[in-house]
Amino acid sequence: MCKAEVFTPVPGDAVMLSDYTALHNTVDSFDNPDHVELTPEYFQSSFSFPNVNLSDGFLLVRNDAGELIAAGTIFTEDNSSLISRLSVEVHPQYRHQGIGSEVLNRLIQIGLKRGSSEFACMFPSFRPYAATFLEKHGFSHDYMSLKMQTELKTPGPVFPLPLGLTVRALNIKKELATWAQLQNAIFRESSDYEAVNTEILTSIVKHSAFDQSLLVIGTLFSKPIGYCLGFSMESAAKEKILRIERIGVLPEFRRRGYGCILVSEILIRAYIKEYVSSELVVRSSDKSAITLYEKCGFKESYKHMWYKRRVVQPEKGRGELG
């Protein structure tokens, strides 16, 4: 264990991305069996979405030599619930010194100033110490998601196309509005969903992990009814991994096998482009989606644990946590 003489968190800045990427990769590769080596370009693309600002969304902790040894992030959802999502990463050599607690408490203070009263954190199930840490700070278990994976040694199962159904690549130049309308219609009833517009989708298209061939749309007699979006990732061994970010079908067209067809199409496309595996995350309570993914060859790898804490807003003039 290294000793950090001073560890005062400071806001993020425009030149932090290389150091932040190195810290994330060090933390993640320490115990993640499925570690994917990310790049500064990946994070730059991810943080380019509207309302994400490095200076007010990040806290950085450096040691006396100027090396980044910890970082915290806060993203507050732009809706009526004002839930802030938090994450804390501490270099393995600098743990058990109170750095994580200091960063977490400061993130909560930032969220309170924004008007948040609920704070959510996620960690993988292979890090049980994270549960102990969060429970110590007043968080409790909220819900669980499954990380599912499949190898792409073969194209995977093929499902016959029903009459009238066509699956094709979405035309980015002409169909951004169609994509936005379709996605909003599919997910509008989800409690944690935020509606998208063409500006947000343009940011997604510019993401370094975006691959136009891995965005497919399903139409039934020319009516858009569903879509599947995949991102292109790279493992530490420089192998390509397909990460399925979203897949959905309009409510009135569900339970007809269309979701399986969309997933199958994107897996075939990834196989042709020599991807070695595919992964996705799904809520453990979504049994129908889990069944769909299992039909496409996916199996559970580990769980994503979501913890939440509700904090009473302090009285005016007081900034301390209760």
Domain ranges of the chain: 10-146+305-310, 153-275
Residue 319 pLDDT greater than 70, yes or no: no
pLDDT higher than threshold 80 for residue 50: no
- The per-residue pLDDT for 18 is 95
Instruction: Label the pairing between strands 83-90 and 118-124.
Output: parallel
Residue in 28, 17, 3, 14 with CA at minimum distance from that of residue 233: 28
The runs of H, that is alpha helices, within 9-98 are 17-31, 40-46, 54-57
Residue 192 reports pLDDT greater than 60: yes
Alpha-carbon distance 134 to 254, whole Å?
Answer: 38
Q: Which residue has the tokens 């810290």?
A: 23
The answer to whether residue 58 scores a pLDDT higher than 80 is yes
Q: Is the pLDDT of residue 51 over 70?
A: no
Q: What is the mean pLDDT of residues 138-154?
A: 96
Q: What is the CATH number of domain 10-146+305-310?
A: 3.40.630.30
Give the pLDDT confidence score for residue 315 in this predicted structure: 63
Q: What is the pLDDT of residue 6?
A: 66
In this chain, the answer to whether the domains covering 10-146+305-310 and 153-275 adopt an identical fold is yes
Rounded to an integer, the average pLDDT of 146-173 is 94
Q: Which amino acid is at 225?
A: I
252 phi and psi, to 5 degrees? -75, -5
CA 122 remoteness from chain centre: 10
- What pLDDT, on the 0 to 100 scale, is given for residue 289? 94
Confidence of residue 320 (pLDDT cuts 50, 70, 90): very low
Question: What proportion of the chain, given as a percentage, has pLDDT over 90?
Answer: 77
- CATH class in words for 153-275: alpha beta
Residues in the chain: 322
Give the Cβ contact number of residue 66 at 10 Å.
7
Residues 6+ apart with CB under 8 A from 171: none
In 221-297, where do the E strands start and end?
223-234, 240-249, 277-283
pLDDT (average), residues 201-230: 96
Question: Hey, what are 157's tokens?
Answer: 């199962």
CA separation for the pair 172, 304 (Å, rounded): 32
